[in-house]
Amino acid sequence: MFIHITLPDGTRKQVPAGYSVRDALTATGERLDAKVLAAKVNGEPVDLSRPLNHDATIEPLTFESAEGREVYRHSSTHIMAQAVKEVFPTAQLTIGPALDEGFYYDFAFERPFTPEDLEKIEARAKEIMKRGLTVTRSELSKQDAIKFFQGRGEAYKVELIQGFDDQLPISLYSQGEFVDLCRGPHLPTTGHVGAFKLLSTGGAYWRGDERNPMLQRVYGTSFPTQKELDAHLAKLEEIKRRDHRKLGKELDLISTQDEIGPGLVLWHPKGSLIRLLIENFWREQHLKDGYELVYSPHVARLDLWKTSGHVDYYRENMFATMQIEGSEYQLKPMNCPFHIMIYKSHLRSYRDLPIRYGELGTVYRYERTGVLHGLLRVRGFTQDDAHLFCRPDQIETEVSRVLDFTFFILGTFGFTEFEVYLSTRPEKSVGSDENWTLATTALEAALKGRGVAYQVDPGEGVFYGPKIDIKIKDVLGRSWQCSTIQVDFNNPERFKLAYTGEDGKYHQPIMIHRALMGSIERFFGILIEHYAGAFPLWLAPVQVVVLTITDKQHECAARIVSELKGHGYRVEADVRNEKIGFKIREAEKNKIPYMLVVGEKEVQSGTVAVRGRSGANHGTMPIEGLLALLQTETNQVLRETATHSQTR
C-alpha cells in the first residue's frame, strides 16, 4: 500500500505506508538536510522517526523556526535531565519545558544546586551529547506508565500521569538509560545538539503554587553552533551592561536607600531633570490632545475606596490605613476615585462629553518584598494616568484617539515596535453581558480601525471591563508592559455617575482608564536600558560640555557656555587642571552627547572642535555651526510632534 505525501514546495511523492518521516523525505534519493530536526505532519510536530500511514503534508522543521527551536531546546533539557540523574541519582524529575531562548528543568532534590554542581552537570551533559544516543519514542497505557515511573521512584511523574486522560496512551522518550514522560517531538539523537550551556539555578514551586514544595530549577540554553551560543551570551552581557540599576547609580540619576525603605525612589538632580523633560512633554501633548490636567491628594478617607471597591478588591496591595481625628484615611493606590469626584462636582451634559482628565498622579501600593525590582517594580510611583468619561457610543472614537496618541508618545522615546493584547471578560467580573459585549466590540473596532495587529487574551480583562495592553519592544527586542486602556462600567455605577442626555433624562457615562507610559519610574528604568544611559540630545541632562586644554581658555569657555545657555541648551564647562584625555574620558562616562574641545587654536580661530559621544568627530566649526547641528537634532523630535498635531 502506498500513501502520498506533499512537501511545502508543492512536490508530491508516493511512498510505502509505514515509511518514517525521514524515509519519506529521502525516498527519491534526496539527502536529508542536516538542519532538519523534526517535521510537521499535517500541522502536528512529530519526530523524524514517526511512521506515516496516511496521506500527509510534511513540513521539515529546522532551528530557524520557533517550532524547530522548541524541539531543539526540549531535547536539550532532556539531555540536562539525564545528566542530573547520572550525577545525582536521588534527584527526581518533574517538568522541563523549552523557553523562547533556552530551557529549564525542575528537579526535586534535597538541597539547592551549587555553581559547582552546575559545572558537573554541564560537563556530563556535553558528554551525553558526544555519546550521540538515539532518542526513541514509545507508548504505554496510563496504568503501565504509572507502574513504570513508580518503579523508577519518580513520584512527580506519577502525579502528572494521574492527571491525564485514561483513554489516551502515554508517550515516553528514552535516550540510553534515561526515560522521561514527554509529548515530544525530539531530535533524532543527543548528538544533534551542538552548543550547550547551563546558565543559572533557582527555586520554583511545584506547579507554580507557593503552597507546594520548592523544586530546584536549572536554566540553560543551546544553539546549533558555538558561534550562535556566544552571540547569545554576549547579548546577556549587554543586558547586564544596560541594567538601569547600575546605570542609574553610575550616572547619578536615582537611588533607593535602606533608610528610606524598599521600593521608594529618590530622584537625583540629573534623573529629576530628565523626568521633568518627560513630564513637560507629556503635559504639553495632553493639553494639545484635548485633555484637562488635574491634581489630587495623596491620602483620602477610606470611605472613598470603599465606594470605589478597592477595599474589597485591592486591599492586599494597599498600605495600612491611618487614624486621623477619628476617621480612617488611606494612602492612595489609584487616582481614579479623585477624577471621578471632580466629574461629580457638578452636573454634566451630554454636550460636555467626552471629558478627559489627566494627571501625573503618584500612588502607593504595598508590594511583597520579593517582587520589588529597581525602578521597574516599586512601592511609590507616578502614573501618567487619565480617565475619560464618555457616552457608550463614544468609546470607539475615544479608544482610537488614545491608540494614536499612545503610539505617538511612545514613538517620541524611540519605541516603534509594539505588541498589542485585547483582554476579554474574566470569570470573576461585574457588569451586564450587554456592557461587556459593547465595550469589547468597541475596543476591537478601534484596533481594527487603526490597523493595529493584536492578540486576544481571553479572560484576562479586569473585573470591571475589557482592556487593551500595549507592550513596547526595546532596542534589544525585549518587551515591556507600559500602556493600558481599560473600559470601566463598574465605577460609574458605584459612584452613581450621570450626565443629562438630549432627552433630558439622566444617563450613566462609561469610564476609560488609560496610562501610556504606565509609571514614570518604570518607564524611566526602561528608557535607561533602551538608550544604555546615552539619552538623546533632547533628554540628556547635560547636552554639551566645553573642555579646555589649558587654563588660558577659561574665559573663552565661559563665553561659549553662556552663549549656548542663551540658546536654551544645558551646558557645562570642565576647566579643571587635567589633561584633555582625562576630561574626555569623564564626559564619555557621563554619556554627554557633545564635547567641545577648546584650545589655543580654537580660541584664535573662534571655533570649537566638536566631538560626539563614542568618539564621533564632527570637526572644527564656529559656534553658529554647532548651534545648527544641535538644532537639527532636537528639531527631529519637534517635527514629529508637529506632524502628530496636524493629524488631529
Partner RNA sequence: GCUGGCGUAGCUCAAUCGGCAGAGCAGCGGUUUUGUAAACCGCAGGUUGGAGGUUCGAUUCCUCUCGCCAGCUCCA
Task: For residue 95, give the nearest of 13, 152, 160, 31 by alpha carbon.
Answer: 160
Asked if 214 interacts with RNA (CB under 7 A), we say yes
Asked if 208 interacts with RNA (CB under 7 A), we say yes
Question: Longest Cα pair distance anywhere in the chain, in angstroms?
Answer: 96
Mark whether 553 is an active-site residue: no
Asked if 614 interacts with RNA (CB under 7 A), we say yes
Kindly tell me which residue out of 67, 144, 279, 367 binds RNA, with binding defined by CB under 7 A: 367
Instruction: Note the helical H segments in 351-495.
Output: 395-412, 433-449, 490-494
Asked if 372 interacts with RNA (CB under 7 A), we say yes
The least CB distance from residue 599 to RNA, in Å, is 2
Quote the CA–CA distance of 378 and 553 in Å, as a whole number.
Answer: 46
Mark whether 394 is an active-site residue: no
The least CB distance from residue 588 to RNA, in Å, is 4
The least CB distance from residue 580 to RNA, in Å, is 4
Q: Per the residue annotation, which of 73, 157, 336, 469 is the catalytic one? A: 336
Asked if 473 interacts with RNA (CB under 7 A), we say no
Asked if 457 interacts with RNA (CB under 7 A), we say no
**H or E stretch covering 16:** strand 12-16
**Which three cell numbers mark 519?**
509609571
Between residues 192 and 217, which has the closer beta carbon with respect to RNA?
A: 217
Q: Per the residue annotation, which of 467, 514, 530, 644 is the catalytic one? A: 467
Between residues 259 and 325, which has the closer beta carbon with respect to RNA?
A: 259
Mark whether 365 is an active-site residue: yes
Q: Per the residue annotation, which of 383, 394, 486, 543 is the catalytic one? A: 383
Residues 347-366: x/- map of binding to RNA (CB under 7 A)?
------------------x-
Quote the CA–CA distance of 157 and 240 in Å, as a whole number.
Answer: 36
**Which three cell numbers mark 560?**
561659549
Residues 3-42: x/- map of binding to RNA (CB under 7 A)?
----------------------------------------
Task: For residue 80, give the nearest of 97, 105, 55 by alpha carbon.
Answer: 105
The least CB distance from residue 245 to RNA, in Å, is 5
Asked if 234 interacts with RNA (CB under 7 A), we say no
Quote the CA–CA distance of 586 and 573 in Å, as a whole number.
Answer: 12
Asked if 245 interacts with RNA (CB under 7 A), we say yes
The least CB distance from residue 358 to RNA, in Å, is 16
Between residues 10 and 606, which has the closer beta carbon with respect to RNA?
A: 606
Residues 106-125: x/- map of binding to RNA (CB under 7 A)?
------x-------------
**H or E stretch covering 150:** helix 142-151
Q: How many residues does the chain have?
A: 648
Between residues 214 and 430, which has the closer beta carbon with respect to RNA?
A: 214
The least CB distance from residue 250 to RNA, in Å, is 7
Kindly tell me which residue out of 90, 134, 138, 200 binds RNA, with binding defined by CB under 7 A: 200
Asked if 101 interacts with RNA (CB under 7 A), we say no
Q: Per the residue annotation, which of 157, 513, 522, 583 is the catalytic one? A: 513
Query: Is residue 218 a contact partner of residue 81, using CB atoms and an 8 Å limit?
Result: no
Quote the CA–CA distance of 361 and 365 in Å, as a whole number.
Answer: 13
| Binding positions for RNA, 562-601, rule CB under 7 A | 577-582, 584-585, 588-589, 595, 597, 599-601
Asked if 615 interacts with RNA (CB under 7 A), we say yes
Between residues 132 and 612, which has the closer beta carbon with respect to RNA?
A: 612
Q: What is the DSSP letter of 495?
A: T
Asked if 205 interacts with RNA (CB under 7 A), we say yes
Q: What is the DSSP letter of 377?
A: B
Between residues 163 and 615, which has the closer beta carbon with respect to RNA?
A: 615
Q: Which residues contact 336 (CB under 8 A, 6 or more apart)?
A: 308, 385, 387, 488, 491, 511, 513
Mark whether 385 is an active-site residue: yes
Asked if 204 interacts with RNA (CB under 7 A), we say yes
Asked if 258 interacts with RNA (CB under 7 A), we say yes
Beta strands in 431-570 (DSSP E): 455-457, 467-473, 479-488, 499-500, 506-507, 510-519, 544-548
Mark whether 387 is an active-site residue: yes
Residues 516-555: x/- map of binding to RNA (CB under 7 A)?
--xx-xx--------------------------xxxx---
Q: Per the residue annotation, which of 356, 387, 583, 644 is the catalytic one? A: 387
Query: Is residue 318 a contact partner of residue 365, using CB atoms and an 8 Å limit?
Result: yes
Query: Is residue 442 a contact partner of residue 402, using CB atoms and an 8 Å limit?
Result: no
Mark whether 182 is an active-site residue: no
Asked if 332 interacts with RNA (CB under 7 A), we say no
Asked if 236 interacts with RNA (CB under 7 A), we say no
Q: Per the residue annotation, which of 384, 385, 488, 574 is the catalytic one? A: 385
Asked if 602 interacts with RNA (CB under 7 A), we say yes
The least CB distance from residue 365 to RNA, in Å, is 5
Sign of CA dihedral 176, 182, 186, 190: negative
Torsion-angle region of residue 29: left (phi > 0), alpha (psi -120 to 50) or beta?
Answer: left
Vertex 269 angle, CA 267 and 272, to 5°: 55
Buried b vs exposed e over 398-419: b needs ≥16 C-beta within 10 Å? bbbbbbbbbbbbbebbebeebe
Tell me whether strands 92-93 and 102-108 are parallel, antiparallel or unpaired. antiparallel
Number of residues that bind RNA (CB under 7 A): 65
Between residues 195 and 470, which has the closer beta carbon with respect to RNA?
A: 470
The least CB distance from residue 517 to RNA, in Å, is 8
Burial of 494 (0-12, 13-18, 19+ CB in 10 A): middle
Quote the CA–CA distance of 391 and 372 in Å, as a whole number.
Answer: 39
Count how many Cα atoms sit within 13 Å of the Cα of residue 627 in the half-sphere of its side chain. Answer: 13
Q: Which residues contact 423 (CB under 8 A, 6 or more apart)?
A: 456, 457, 458, 459, 460, 461, 462, 466, 467, 468, 469
Mark whether 457 is an active-site residue: no
State the catalytic residues. Answer: 336, 365, 383, 385, 387, 467, 513
- Write out the residues near RNA by the rule CB under 7 A: 112, 200, 202-205, 208-210, 214, 217, 245, 249, 256, 258, 261-263, 365, 367-374, 377-379, 381, 383, 481-482, 484, 515, 518-519, 521-522, 549-552, 577-582, 584-585, 588-589, 595, 597, 599-602, 609, 611, 614-615, 617
